Amino acid sequence: MRVPWSDPRVIFPLVAGAIALGLLVHVKQPIEPQESVVAVHDYIQQLPKGSAVLLAVDFDPQAMAELRPMTEAIIEQCLDQDLHVVGMTFWPLGAQLGYDMFKTVADEPRFRDKEAGRDYVYLGYKPGDLSQVITNMGENLLTTFPQDYRNRPTGTMPIFRDVKSLRNVKYIIDLAAGSTPDAWIIFGGDKYNVPMAVGCTAISGPDLYVRLKNHQINGLVAGLRGAADYETLLQKAGLGVGGMFAQSLIHVMIVLFVIAGNVAFFVGKRRQRRRG
C-alpha cells in the first residue's frame, strides 16, 4: 500500500518545512547534558592553569554544522580556564576552517588579553600517514610543526617553552569527522599515556562508545546534541542549542512517518492475504 508521503516531491518540502519551522519558532527545551559530555567539561575544568591542551580539529566544512559549535565551545572553556590551547588538523580542506574557529573565539572581547603564540596557537595541517605524524608529535612536536599556520616559527613561541612533545600535553581532544580518533587513541593517547576525549559527528558516535567503555577516552561529545549539551554546561546559547528544537521536530516527523508507513504495510499485507 503506497503512502502519499513516500513521494520525494512531498517528503523533501516537509523536511525543509519542519526544519525551517523548528528554527523560526524556537521553543526552549530542557537539555539534560549526557554523562559522556559532562566528563569532558569537568576534566577541562579541573586542569591546572597553564596546562597544555591539544585540539585536533580533524574536519572540514562538510561536518561543520555538528562540529564547529562544540569546537568553539571547548576553545572558549579552555581560554576561560587560562589553559594553553594547541590546535592542528589532519584534514587539508579544513585547515583554514580550524584557523577561522580559533580566530573567531580569540577575537571575542573577553579574550582580548589572550595572545597567539603565548596562550593559543594553531599549527595547521601536516600530510603523511597518521601513525607516523602522531608518533613524530609524540617524540618532538617542534620538528613536526616548525612553523604555525601563519608561517611563524614555533621554536621561539612561549607556549612551547614547556611543551616539547605529546608527553607534555595534559589532554588531547580530537574533534573528528572521520576515523582519526582511532589513530589518535592507538598512537597518541594509549601510547604516550595522555588522557583523551573525542568530539565527533553523530555517525561515529555509536562506534566510539567502545573506546569510552574501554576508558581509552574519558569523554565523548557526539553530534549536534553533544554540542548543545556542551553549550548548556557553559550556559551559552549557541548554534547547538539553537538547532535542538528543529532536530527534535524532524526526528519526531520521520519516526511518525516510518511508523505510519509500517502500519500501512501491514494493513496492505493483510488485505492481500484476505484476497488471496
Partner 1 sequence: MAKSSKTDLIVALTCTGVLVIANAVLFAAGKLPVRQEGIADWPRTLVLLGGVVMTIAIFSFLYKDNPFFRAAENLFVGVGLGVTTMVMWYDFLKPDIYDKLVAPALNPAMQVQHSDLVLLVPIALGAMVLLRISRSYGWVSRYPMAFLVGYGAGFGIQPTIHSNILKNMQYTVVPTPVHWAGWAVVGLAVVLLAATAYFASKGGRLALALRIASGALALAYVIARATRAPQGPPVGGTEDLAWALFGAAAVLMAVAGYFASRGAKVNAWLWSIGGTAALIFLVNRLASTLLQGGTAAQAFASMDSIIILLGVFSVLCYFVFSLEHRGAVGALSRVGIIFLMVAFGASFGYSVMARESLVIGRFQFLLSDWLHLF
Partner 2 sequence: MRPIKLTIPLALALLFGIFGFGIQYVVHPWAADTKEVIALWSRVIGGIATLLGIYSLVHLHMTKIQRKQEGWGYSLFFFLGFLVITAAVVYNGGRWLLSAKVEQSVYDLLYEALYVSAGATMFSLLGFYIASAAVRTFRARSFEAALLLAAAIVVMVGQVPIGAMISPYFPGISEWALSVPNMAAKRAIMMGVSLGAIATSLRIIFGLERSYLGGGD
Burial label for 197, CB within 10 Å (0-12, 13-18, 19+), is buried
To partner 1, the closest distance from the beta carbon of 214 in angstroms equals: 5
Cβ proximity to partner 2: between 12 and 162 the closer is 12
Q: How far is the CB of 49 from partner 2 (least distance, A)?
A: 28
- Stretch 188-247 residues interacting with partner 1 (CB under 8 A): 190-191, 201-203, 205-207, 210, 213-216, 222-225, 239, 242-243, 246-247
Amino acid identity of residue 264, one-letter, is A
Using the structure block, give the residue that is written with the C-alpha cell 535542538. 244
Query: Coil, strand, or helix at residue 231?
Result: helix
Interface positions, 134-193, toward partner 2 (CB under 8 A) = 135-136, 139-140, 143-144, 149-152
**Residues binding partner 1: number (CB under 8 A):** 60
Select from partner 1, partner 2, none the partner in contact with residue 5, using the beta carbon and a kind-dependent cut-off of 5 to 8 Å: partner 2
Radius of gyration for the alpha carbons in the chain, expressed in angstroms and rounded: 22
Q: How far apart are CA 153 and CA 259, in angstroms?
A: 59
Binding of partner 1 by 26 (CB under 8 A): yes
Polymer length of the chain:
276
Least Cα distance to 74 among 181, 220, 173 occurs for 173
Site membership for partner 2, residue 32 (CB under 8 A): yes
- The residue to which cell 593517547 is assigned: 189
Q: 240, 205, 207: which is closest to 71 by C-alpha?
A: 240
Give the residues lining the site for partner 1 (CB under 8 A): 12, 15-16, 19-20, 22-24, 26, 62-66, 92-93, 95-96, 124-127, 129, 131-132, 135, 145-147, 149, 151, 182, 185-187, 190-191, 201-203, 205-207, 210, 213-216, 222-225, 239, 242-243, 246-247, 250-251, 254
